[in-house]
Chain A
Amino acid sequence: MRFILPLFVICSLAFNAGEHTNPKPLRMPYKKAGLTEKEAALHLLNRLAFGPAPGQVEKVVSMGLDQWVMSQLNQSAAENELKEKLKRLDALQLSNEQIAGTYLNAVQAIRQLQQSGKLSKDSIPNTEDSAYRKKIQALMESSGLKPPRELNRQLFAQKMIRAIEAENQLSEILTDFWFNHFNVSITKNLAQPYVLTYERDAIRPNVLSNFETLLKATAQHPAMLLYLDNALSGSDNNPLQERARARMTKQNSNRRQNGLNENYARELLELHTLGVDAGYTQQDVQAVAKALSGWTVRPLKQENMAGLAKQVSRRQNLAVVENDFMFAAFRHDEGEKTILNKNYPANGGYAEGLAVIHQLATHPSTAQFICKKLASKFVADEPPANLVSEMSNTFMATSGNIKAVMTTMLNAPEFWEKKYVGSKTKSPFELTVSAVRITNARVMQPFQLYSWCEKMGQPLYGYNAPTGFPDKAAFWINSGSLLNRVNFGVALVENKITGIRVPDPEKNMGMLLGSPSFQNK
């Protein structure tokens, strides 16, 4: 059953900070830094892209460096070839609702098959028994149901294919960056089904837009709401709860699940916006949790949130639904709050949470924190303070225009300083993709590349903690991972990786890919 809720139009669009300021023009001072055009082009391809394909340095030089960078910042390539290659991955177009109804683990599948009458209700689930497993598999197939790992495989495949093939390389670099910044993980079962659409709908369209837009999109996506538990966070401090409370205490109050959960609020402050040293307090964390109580996922599956659905349907007009996000008004804490010294009066409703997102997205500490992270991604693990503060100034002046911040970075002498060129360590993902690109390898089946990334220390989409991978040399390089990095290069060139084929590998290539300089970018 899918029910439609009245949509509250939020009149105040004030929080949608737009891109009122155009980025300053590009003026990249690489010559001043002593780099030739070719050297500068290689540096750009290493940092704004996953390394050069054969001949690409020369191509960028002849196109003009500014021209190439502008096309990256504007994401102007049409990507027709890429789109063609992605067509066979049928899950990429699905909605959350379709995914929730298609990709089911064994327990969910058995329940669904029983409900639809395809499996006897009396049949006792025995997944240890291989005959039983086969029967369930067959029934799943004939009913169009698939196991979650098939969704994951498409998720991995599209990431690899895009990174290898896309012309808009910077978009892929930034999708990887922002996903990792706003990390969610397929290791959390509740969130797993929605990780694909999270990247597709919340991250990818916003990687070069406005930070607040990006932040809000992550905050309201089912993957994040479920990964950091905000979907379950609610409050009794709400006039609409009085009757519900009376009724529920009569029933089993122990089973009642209607209370605050601080998980998302804390990580929102610590990891997504202000940074851990910004001086917020435990009281701030609690107040943010209250301001965001009631922010949840609209029921995507009948059995999933049946209880909530009933409550909502009983109280029409009490929810705001935007795509798959739902603000459940009766679960929102309506008390007065103070967050980072700003007062939020009682009965703030949905707008209160949006105002908090705005306050956080435009806070100077956020500008500093985000710009430092961008600079350490693109310039150096420990970026120069001057550069970070210049980027933060742009961030503040443009209300978080990411393209403008990137432009400031590219115009800064620090980005081109010789001591930083070739000094960053590639993540296993970057190493893998850059090796495939430079060898012009044909990718028939990218799954083995995913396995190698995992071996080298980067299980894609699988970093359990909300911090995301610490993308620094000291995290990626250790004796064990280094052996695997060297082994990867050799295996690739010797065509020992199933599904990947290097045409006519040059003899020296294995040694080059395994060399110290190829570990860096």
Chain B
Amino acid sequence: MKRSAFLRSGALTVFAAGWGGLPGFVHAAATTQKIIPPYKRTKTLVCIFQRGAMDGLMAVSPYTDPNLKTLRPRLFMSPAQTEGGMFDLDGRFALHPSLAALMPLYKENRMTVVHGVGSPNNTRSHFDAQDFMESGMPHTKNSLSGWLNRALTLQGQPSTPFSGVSITKALPRSLQGEAQSLAISNLEEFILQNNNSGTTPFGSVSSFEELYKQSSNPLLKQSSKDGYEAVKLLDPQLVKQYKPAIGAVYPNSPLGKSLKQIAMLIKMEVGLEIGFAESGGWDTHINQGTINGAFARNLKDFGDSIAAFWTDLRGYQDDVSLMTMTEFGRTVHQNGTGGTDHGRASCLFVLDNTLQGGKVWHRMGGLSKDELEDGRDLPVTTDFRSVFSAAAAHRLQISDKEKLFPGWKGENIF
């Protein structure tokens, strides 16, 4: 309700007031409209989904537990190794050396690790587990909305076409639902070809925008409305010319590119409240490696991308939180092919200047066989919703936990 009223009263105008030092980003079309002040900078929650189930026990290892070395002799790592050793975090947990770029953020208390996180639903299916985590309703199949979409409707700011943006090819489950949200794989290509022929087979309707407005298919109608509103605000030329802040070097990877575009949107002040990106390749069934190998390479891309993003946000960091997530963890024991199979709990990372980080938050027990779930997996000791809900409360001031996560009665972890 709020959104449509807002847009009808002059959607484009609102963005102009908050430009700050970057007026050039907004398309000229917007500047010619009347300006309705005031428009504030938004607070932004950025989520990264690590698809494929990251091995949390290797990213952040409880290296002092003797069972770990016994159960995964080929995969065990510790800070004691002289070459490429892990970073000791607190005497019990250590950070994988590929995450070196994140270590300064941990030391400066900006980063928190949450360990033993997962879903109360014990499915080990990637698809189901991702679906449950993204809907935020781990006991309900085919629930309608994603948790980030509900967050968009619950947060108090006026919405803009850019309130919820996923820099992915498809709109992730997390952002599906009633509230307007965008999926854009590349901002540079977020442009519209016009019907240049000058003629139209559709009577008086001469633009695609008009044509889709009249569509009886609600999905097509809504997607096109969202797209056209947004596309008018961005000048792809200026997007192309974007230069990250000094010192921010993004890896030339899908995640690096996505986070760079999210940083761009934050700095354009187009009203981004929720940004979403993905990282793939975590399903390490074979040859996972340790300090080198598939997992280490992927983790380095992950850490370097996040570190570049945070550096790029200099001047905006205090208004942004970044949270990572993955559908489940992996078996404590190594499998027969130098990798790990589908398990239960994993870990996640929260980056936020205004939270007292620099710690590993957990309720984990040990790794002896009778402490493991089904005798094989790190049990879930922290419900993912208690972290997601805390991040939403902290960054987006969403206090109604029951509306954000229907049916959940737990407590936020911070």
Q: Contact residues of A with B, CB < 8 Å?
A: 229, 232-235, 254, 257-263, 266, 270-271, 276-277, 282, 285, 425, 455, 457, 459, 464-465, 467, 473-484, 486-487, 490-491, 493-494, 507-508, 510-512, 514-516, 519-520
Contacts and interface: CB of A to CB of B under 8 A. Distances in A.
Interface stretch (B196-204, B265-273, B379-387): B196-204
Interface in B367-396: 374
A482 B193 CA distance: 12
B342 interface: yes
Contacts of B202: 511, 515
Main SS of chain B's interface residues?
loop
Given A262-B335, A479-B182, A482-B224, 19 more contacts: A229-B285, A232-B286, A261-B286, A261-B341, A457-B185, A464-B280, A474-B219, A480-B169, A480-B182, A480-B183, A480-B185, A481-B170, A483-B192, A490-B195, A511-B200, A511-B211, A515-B202, A516-B221, A519-B217
A159 to B, nearest CB: 19
Nearest to B176: A474
Contact of B189 (A259, A270, A484): A484
Contacts of A481: 169-170, 183, 223
A64 to B, nearest CB: 31
B201 A494 contact: no
A235 B336 CA distance: 8
A261 B285 contact: yes
Contacts of A266: 124-125, 342
Interface stretch (B23-31, B80-88, B92-100, B226-234): B226-234
Interface in B11-57: 51-52
A294 to B, nearest CB: 12
B212 interface: yes
Contacts of A514: 195, 208, 211
B215 interface: yes
A508 B220 contact: no
Nearest to A289: B341
A516 B201 CA distance: 13
B183 A270 contact: no
Contacts of B211: 511, 514-516
A512 B196 CA distance: 13
B338 interface: yes
Contacts of B198: 507
A232 B337 contact: yes
A229 B227 contact: no
Please name the 6 residue pairs, one residue from A and one from B, whose CB atoms are nearest each other, closest first. Answer: A259-B336, A479-B227, A478-B183, A516-B215, A508-B201, A478-B171
15 contacts: A229-B337, A259-B337, A261-B285, A270-B125, A425-B219, A477-B220, A479-B224, A480-B184, A486-B193, A487-B191, A493-B197, A508-B200, A510-B195, A511-B197, A515-B202
Given A257-B336, A467-B127, A480 B190 contact: yes
Given A474-B219, A482-B220, A511-B195, A465 B126 contact: yes
Nearest to B182: A479
A261 B230 contact: no
